Structure formats: structure tokens, C-alpha cells
Amino acid sequence: MLKLIVRSVNQFVNSQTIGGVLLAVAAVLALILSNSPLQPLYDALLNTPGEVRIGGDWLVLSKPTLVWVNDLWMAVFFFLVGLEIKRELLQGELASRAQALLPAGAALGGMVVPALIYAAINAGNPVALQGWGIPMATDIAFALGILVLLGSRVPTSLKIFLTAVAIIDDLGAILVIAFFYTADLSLAMLLAAGGGALVLLVLNRSRVTSVGPYVIVGLIIWVCVLKSGIHATLAGVITALAVPISDGKGGSPLGRAEHALHPWVAYGILPVFAFANAGVSLSGITLSTLTQTVPLGIAAGLVVGKTVGVFGASWLLIRFGGAQLPYQSTWLQFLGVCVLCGVGFTMSLFIGSLAFAGADPALGVQVKIGVLMGSLISAVLAVLLLLSQSSRAQPD
């Protein structure tokens, strides 16, 4: 089982490199199409309706392409996130208090400070304040992909640290979505989803090691959660947490599911999400547009808030809490990785789509501008810091 887990982790790290490149390509392609004569075609593609109908009118799900991507495809992404969180908590970097202390504290600081900065900039505007959760998240594919591309210039311990921080970040984002970004709730559908969760628990306690039954029940939970008012992607997390990590025979159902899903998520789902959500027309955008409170709050939260929150909390834990700087890393390298946590592309765009759902479409454009601006600045600054440390380490 240990070999399978190690292989899954290696697969995860390797997939982030190519996945991060594909994310960037998809985002750039969406921007190009949104600012070309093909914009009507791009918009029409995102608004193409798709329908699932079961038993006549008994169950009808009719959504445009963009909603299917954000609600169904991203549920698969969150299923993978749930698997990663469970593995890290039981067998990975978060399995013991000593291991979890530094990344957990860093992630907490990296969620609280960006939210506070965004809220301070948008104080007095109750609509804009709904986006306080946007700059809280780190995009693990982009961020880890950049570290891997830098190769041996960055110690392995920092890549592990970033992975742990991003996974805890995802857990925080899941809780924020569940408690703060939900629509009107349907008690009947919530109870039905709760019944599905009990079935998952029974499957787990009955030592069912095939992933198939969990996925089938998870699909039913997804429909119930979709109809309940809570965002449907949370069904993926609920399902993942029920998948057993060991089959008692040296194998890992959770590890096998992770291994199988990583390529589909990294090379398919996340690039498609980026393509569907990163398109924004730059026509008419001026300096005053960039300095509006929503994009400014997001960018400042990602660039300044993430750096101050992650680095500041880590420094306090290392100085006073008994934590240690990641092995073979310097403070400058560590600062570079903390800055890199400000790359919040995928999850930030996703939370932004929830925060301003049904609001003025201009706010959606401002979210995309702020996320793209903040993530790009964070990535460039982090790379410059890490390359600067690398050049200092070279012999004269």
C-alpha cells in the first residue's frame, strides 16, 4: 500500500506541472477569444443548454454549459480534493500534530489576512463585501507547477509545504462555500442528501472497498445537494471522505481512485474550467477599472494578504511555537513560496462566481480582472525571489 501511496503522490506532483501549463494555455485562449471577433461564438458555447431528463418530468436538470462545468465537473475536482485531504490527514503531512503545525498555521493566516484586506478595501459596500472569500484560496496546480518547473532550485521540503498549505486552503474554501455561499435551502433535499451520506457511512463500515458503489451514491447525493441550495460540488467532498484508505489486503481504494482521477482533473477538468471562466473582455478597461474596490481588494488580498498571512503565521510558529523551517530551505526561499501562495486562480474564480451569482455582471468581470492580476503578480514576484536565491547559491 505504501508503494501505491508514494506512486500516487509522485503522479500528483508530476501532473501539476503539465496541468499548470494547460491551465495557463486555457486561460490565455479564453482571453484571446473574448477579445476577438470570435467572442459571440465563445459566449454561445458557454450558454449552450444541456439537459438530463429521467422518467419524463420526474427529474429534469437543464443547465447551460457554464453551469454544468461549474456544478458537475467541479464536483469531480472536489471529489479528488476530498481524497487528498483524507490521505494527508491519515497518512501524509497532516497525520501528526508536529507535521501539521506549520502548514496548518500558515494556511489559516493565508485565509484570514487576505479576507480582512479585501473587507477593509470594500468596507461600506455590502454587495462588494460578499466577495471576501475570493482571495483566500491557493491554486495548487499553478503554484506547484511553477515550483516543479524551477526544478532543483527549490528544495523538495518546500514543495511538500506548499502542497500541504494548498490542501488545507482547499478545506477552508470548502467550509466557506458550505456556510457562506449557499442559496435558499430546501430542507427536504438536505434530508435526502443526509440519507445518502448515511448510506456512504454504511458502505464504509461494511468494508466495501470497490469505489463504484460510493460514486453511484455520490451522484445521487450530488443531485440532492444541487436541489437543496448548497453548492453541488460539496457532494464530491462528502463522497470522497467515505472512500476507505485501505482494503485490509495491502491495497488502497482511496489511492487507486486518486491515481485514476489525477490525469482527468489536471489535464481535462481544470483546463476546461479555466477556459469557461477566465474569458473577460478587456475592451474599455482603464486604470480606473483596475483600481475599483473589487479587483483591487482581490489583487491586494492575493499579493499582500497571502504573503503577510502565510509568512507571518509561519514566522510566529517557528519563532515561538516550536515549528521548524522546511528542511534545507532558506528564509528567502521560504518567502518566495509564501508569495507563490497568492496564485489563487481556479478556486478564486470559482468562489467569485458564487459570491456574485445573480448580481451585476460587471462584478463578475471585476472578479476575473482581480484574480488574473493578483495571481500573475504573485507568480512573477515568487519566481524572481526564488531565482534570486538560486543565483546567490551559485559558486563564484
Q: Which of 295, 285, 373, 281 is nearest to 128 (CA)?
A: 295
* Residue 139 confidence (pLDDT) above 50: yes
Element (H, E) at 231: none
As a whole number of angstroms, the distance between CA 267 and CA 363 comes to 29
SS3 335: helix
pLDDT band at 394 (very low <50, low <70, confident <90, very high): very low
Lowest mean pLDDT among 74-83, 88-97, 221-230: 88-97
**pLDDT tens digit sequence for 204-263:** 999 999 999 999 999 999 999 888 877 777 889 899 999 999 988 889 999 999 989 988
Q: Higher model confidence: residue 344 or residue 6?
A: 344
**Which amino acid is residue 120, in one-letter code?**
A
pLDDT of residue 390: 58
Q: Is 220 exposed, middle or buried (0-12, 13-18, 19+ CB in 10 A)?
A: middle
Residue 111 near residue 309 (C-beta atoms within 8 A):
yes
Count of beta carbons in the 10 Å neighbourhood of residue 74: 26
Higher pLDDT among residues 6 and 243, named by residue: 243
Across 160-176, b (16+ Cβ under 10 Å) vs e yields bbbbbbbbbbbbbbbeb
**Greater model confidence, 193 or 280:** 193
Report angle CA 163, 168, 169 to the nearest 5 degrees: 95
**CA–CA distance, 170 with 301 (Å, rounded to integer):** 17
Q: What residues are paired with 63 via a beta bridge?
A: 50
C-alpha cell of residue 148: 516543479
